[in-house]
Structure 1
């Protein structure tokens, strides 16, 4: 491949990245009132909410590595990933809804208890009391493609919740039980959470209980939910952040260094999701200490000649989640965008 070919590929990649970043900024600005409303509704559920919630490790980490070769650094097939990375979707809401449901469960149940779910999917008579009010959409629900049927914003919100619940209740996921499944009405009402590890091999689904200190778990700060980050972060960014938190707590290390085979085989995070660290650092949630022998995408310089694989080090910024999500995300994306535009300018000059 010639230098001109490489330059052309670089330009195309950066144009695509520029367009994606610009679209994300526009989307966040458009959805800011909706995100603020959903965040405020969640915060008002209970005044003495916990400072953190416990999530069992099986949600993000599988102890037994699948029998595959991680050398190509691609994410394993979904069947070989833990639930958190199996749920990653650029447009879906399953991962965010499940995390929100775990947080909501911690508000009214104690360790060892099975939380009840009396919250309706949508409440037409009492807005603010349904699951649709706790989950901000990924895009503007008042616009969209042409349709033959007029649909209210509330019904569009409900459709997204239903779609997420369908995904969570799949036989190969089993993170949610639908007690009314098969009924013609209220099919998705009173859904029940299942164990965070999801599908149990050769066993019935395990009901969810609030983890105790004795359970193998990691903790997510309540600020992730109460400052709007749960609505602002993409699924890949949520999965990457949970991986860092879990590994830090499991290894009791301040600087997080995760070998690539563990990242791929045990967390199910391949090259594409690994790239989430770029914007997480821009958002002020993560600090990166890059190894000079490793490129930004995780590949190693002179890999064939290296006797060992240098690792990026990450440090989770303690106060990062305490900042308002939309404001910090827009600022971070704009910083990244300026860098991408500068690359395009230099490429044009060449």
Structure 2
């Protein structure tokens, strides 16, 4: 519980700083510029190969290998896909047209909170040690490229980007190439990213609403939450009728073997996504607005009855609620995490009181 309190507090602190310096607002503005100047897609099509097991059921998916406590590798890949589909039609091959840093660059697309000094319990000025906000974002972008390239370590065809080397074997980050969701491939010529069509086959592709990128959700959700959310989107396409009628669930074997997610990451991801209004406990038609069966309105009380009526050992069933994406991610997350912090603090105070009684 102490770890939960501390991690929630760190996250609140980070969100507060990002809100204060308007870094999410700036990233949203840059992404909206790409969207408005481009094709203005309502949603982004993602090949579900990113979530598929690698080389058999015992190997983790590429997505699970991007659920990391630090870095922006998963965020970078999803934002690169967003940038590609704002600019290119289905079937077109990706080429890089953005610089790594400066105005209108990859670095502009990411929000950062800055460096935190634990001793003084304050965020350091960007000028400390010659650092600037742009320098920090550039380092994060370069780190993301190394991570995405590193997925191919030992098995080169798993890499999600290809970063060429110079004469002295230095990485030429600016010349990186984006790969398909299944990785670089095993041939000499890399499997460079091509914008996919929304495939008719259930589960071959999933759609990510543009609001996920334009309203800051891509910036503030943790990698485990993004991975959990994407898994639910895959499930909702695998079984669309069941998703609408009674919801979908993930048993332990599927969570581990198909999506490669640990139990604690999955359960915490489900809880936070519910708090943020991006998924909900499943409701049969008639329990909520029939005309808008996936509305998150008036959900808290109904969620209570759904969860309390669940039979013992019966798995929780969920439905995706895309209307939540229309809200400002920073405001929603700060509100819900502040409420959670109060609950965690109250629980800790009660335990202290009980131990001294």
TM-score, with length taken from structure 2: 0.78
| Equivalent of residue 67 in structure 2, options 88, 94, 103 | 88
Mapped contact 1:291–1:311 kept (Cα < 8 A): no
Mapped contact 1:287–1:314 kept (Cα < 8 A): yes
Mapped contact 1:279–1:336 kept (Cα < 8 A): no
| Equivalent of residue 218 in structure 1, options 206, 212, 222 | 206
Q: In the TM superposition, what is the alpha-carbon distance from 1:337 to its structure 2 partner?
A: 1.6
In structure 1, what is the equivalent of residue 108 of structure 2?
133
| Alpha-carbon distance in 1 for matches of 2:142, 2:110 | 12
2:161 is equivalent to residue 176 of structure 1: yes
| Alpha-carbon distance in 1 for matches of 2:140, 2:209 | 26
Q: In the TM superposition, what is the alpha-carbon distance from 1:345 to its structure 2 partner?
A: 2.6
In structure 1, what is the equivalent of residue 294 of structure 2?
none
In structure 2, what is the equivalent of residue 150 of structure 1?
130
| Equivalent of residue 337 in structure 1, options 331, 334, 341 | 341
Q: In the TM superposition, what is the alpha-carbon distance from 1:339 to its structure 2 partner?
A: 2.1
Residues 151 and 139 (structure 1), Cα distance of their counterparts in 2 relative to 1, 3 Å cut: closer
1:42-97 Cα shifts (integer Å, max 9, x gaps):
10113152110111111012387524xxxxxxxxxxxx211111111111110000
In structure 2, what is the equivalent of residue 97 of structure 1?
76
In structure 2, what is the equivalent of residue 29 of structure 1?
16
In structure 1, what is the equivalent of residue 298 of structure 2?
none
1:289-330 Cα shifts (integer Å, max 9, x gaps):
576699xxxxx97xxxxxxx5211111113111100000001
Q: In the TM superposition, what is the alpha-carbon distance from 1:139 to its structure 2 partner?
A: 4.2
| Alpha-carbon distance in 2 for matches of 1:335, 1:133 | 31
Mapped contact 1:280–1:286 kept (Cα < 8 A): yes
Structure 2: gaps (5+ residues)? 118-122, 283-305
In structure 2, what is the equivalent of residue 77 of structure 1?
none
How many residue pairs match? The answer is: 309
TM-score, with length taken from structure 1: 0.80
| Equivalent of residue 280 in structure 1, options 273, 277, 285 | 273
Q: In the TM superposition, what is the alpha-carbon distance from 1:199 to its structure 2 partner?
A: 5.4
2:144 is equivalent to residue 164 of structure 1: yes
1:231-279 Cα shifts (integer Å, max 9, x gaps):
0001011001000111111122321212221111010011121121111
Residues 175 and 55 (structure 1), Cα distance of their counterparts in 2 relative to 1, 3 Å cut: same
| Alpha-carbon distance in 2 for matches of 1:158, 1:35 | 16
In structure 2, what is the equivalent of residue 11 of structure 1?
none
| Equivalent of residue 315 in structure 1, options 293, 311, 319 | 319
| Alpha-carbon distance in 2 for matches of 1:329, 1:182 | 46
Q: In the TM superposition, what is the alpha-carbon distance from 1:164 to its structure 2 partner?
A: 0.7
Residues 181 and 96 (structure 1), Cα distance of their counterparts in 2 relative to 1, 3 Å cut: farther
Q: What are the equivalent positions in structure 2 for 1:3-152 lying under 5 Å apart?
A: 14-32=1-19, 33-47=22-36, 48-62=39-53, 65-67=56-58, 80-123=59-102, 127=103, 129-137=104-112, 139-140=114-115, 143=123, 150-152=130-132
Structure 1: gaps (5+ residues)? 1-13, 68-79, 295-299, 302-308
| Equivalent of residue 178 in structure 2, options 193, 196, 202 | 193
| Alpha-carbon distance in 2 for matches of 1:44, 1:322 | 18
2:234 is equivalent to residue 243 of structure 1: no
Mapped contact 1:111–1:212 kept (Cα < 8 A): yes
Mapped contact 2:54–2:60 kept (Cα < 8 A): no
Mapped contact 1:121–1:158 kept (Cα < 8 A): yes
Other structure's SS at 2:63 match = helix
Residues 323 and 148 (structure 1), Cα distance of their counterparts in 2 relative to 1, 3 Å cut: closer
Q: What are the equivalent positions in structure 2 for 1:195-210 lying under 5 Å apart?
A: 195-198=180-183, 200=185, 205-210=190-195
Higher helix share: 2
Residues 106 and 337 (structure 1), Cα distance of their counterparts in 2 relative to 1, 3 Å cut: same
